Amino acid sequence: MAQSRPEPVLATLTLNPALDIQTGVDVVEPENKLRCDAPRQDAGGGGVNVARVIRRLGGRASCVLPLGGPAGQSLQGRLAAEGLDAVVIPIQGETRQSFTVLDRSRGAEFRFVLPGPRLGAAEFRAVERALEALQPRPDVLVVSGSLPGGLDPKRLTRLASRVRRGGVRLALDASGEGLQAGLEAGVWLVKPNLRELGACLGRELPDRDSQLAAARGLVAAGRAEWVALSLGREGALLVSADFAGYAPALPITPVSTVGAGDSFMAGLAWELSRGTRPEAALSTAVAAASATLMSPGSGMARSADIRRLRPRVRIEILTGP
């Protein structure tokens, strides 16, 4: 009788988490007082959202994150309410908040993201120690979200290198300096969008050929084993040394765009870490992102929606093993 494959151990790192607050108004307009709906609060930030969706996919991922002040305490309570394991590094600064307002008259979301705290050198070393002390040791660490203000990106490069030397596969979802820093060390999986990858490479990527060439270039240079390129309304590409696949976006009318990219990363990292075939992993990723688009505010994907949408995802194999 064949033994079942053990489930992978995953963890996420969110260096700049946020307490997400959502509400709605009839219309957003200047000067007048805007009477808002009762607010909803959720734990947010890239890695936090990834962990939330992995749990809904049936897995678990510990959240490593620095938190401070009343907003940080509230965020930690939200993590506990969702049954997520959290490794909290106390910091002096106040955890940031983000504020999303739905204008019902236009069906448009307005997203206000406040600046986060600076992370001191001693606090960043505490984050590094927390990662080194994780038990059981993760098979995959997902680093997702923005960098705290004032943090030297080279610290992220050194962290990525140390994680990689320790045998942990690193999945990265970052932009700007964070993306450059992670790719400099080399990662297992990277998930830029089209604008982020173009800015990173210093050139436009106007068509499928140029997009595939860019992703294959990262793989060939040893900067990533897997490249998942988000194309927004056009879908997504997934590329490795011996695979390339394209998934068109599902025809979803978005209720909210908050966390869709994080949900995509959650589905992809979870499935690839389990050894799932890449075309099936890409299907789960697109279904998770689409399910989040259907959820209000930062509620994230519902398990039932992911299961329902997954068979509707069409995968075009561009190259295979």
Nearest to 239 by CA among 221, 257, 261, 258: 221
H helix runs in 115-253, sequence order? 121-132, 153-165, 176-185, 194-201, 208-220
Task: Report d(CA 39, CA 67) in Å as an integer.
Answer: 22
CB atoms within 10 A of CB 244: 20
CB atoms within 10 A of CB 133: 10
Q: Cα-flanking dihedrals φ and ψ of residue 142, to 5°?
A: -95, 115
Pairing of strands 140-144, 169-173: parallel
The amino acid occupying position 318 is L
Which one from 20, 42, 173, 262 is the annotated catalytic residue? Answer: 262
Task: Report d(CA 130, CA 91) in Å as an integer.
Answer: 13
CB atoms within 10 A of CB 203: 11
Task: Report d(CA 132, CA 315) in Å as an integer.
Answer: 38
Task: Report d(CA 52, CA 63) in Å as an integer.
Answer: 9
Burial class of residue 35 (count of CB atoms within 10 Å of its CB; 0-12, 13-18, 19+): exposed
Task: Report d(CA 163, CA 241) in Å as an integer.
Answer: 22
37 catalytic? Reply is: no
Active site residues: 262
